[in-house]
Amino acid sequence: MTDFPEDPDRPSGEESISASAERARAELHAEIERVRRGVEQMLDEQNAPLNSDIRRELETMQEDIRRYVKTRIRKSQKRTDRRVGRLEDRTAALEKRLDGIDAERRMTEWRIHTDTERMLGGLLGEVRGIADRLEGKTPPPAL
């Protein structure tokens, strides 16, 4: 099995789609070649020359397998692309929700700050009023 350099944007252990397809294609071609060599070796052992009909049949099989592999890889690529698209859509939706939550958090913090400031301002006014009364600057309210 061939090792491919890791893509820093992908989690470890996950290989790129094209690298996977390329690896599968290489393995399949190696297997086809091994079968072809096996057939040729078997015919050589039987002392029979590899006639043109058998050679053509082997080449036709090899071409059919290439087309089949290309089709399977293309279908696999499309499925994977759809899955990646769905994941990207979900990621975008989550990011939008996070942005909304962040905006809501900032608004809540602002409201808390404003309400606290208003409350402290009112308390400060009351404390000043009490202090002024204690100093005798204003007469106490009549009961």
The predicted-structure confidence for 80-133, as pLDDT tens digits, reads as follows 999 999 999 999 999 999 999 999 999 999 999 999 999 999 999 999 988 888
Measure the CA–CA gap between 72 and 66, rounded to whole angstroms. 10
Residue 9 lies in a domain: no
Residue 1 lies in a domain: no
Please provide the size of the chain in residues. 143
For residue 78, the enclosing domain spans: 17-135
Residue 140 lies in a domain: no
Residue 4 lies in a domain: no
pTM across the whole model: 0.43
| Total domains in the fold of the chain | 1
Helices (H), the chain: 17-45, 52-135
Residue 110 lies in a domain: yes
The candidate with the shortest Cα–Cα distance to 39, out of 26, 25, 24, 51, is: 51
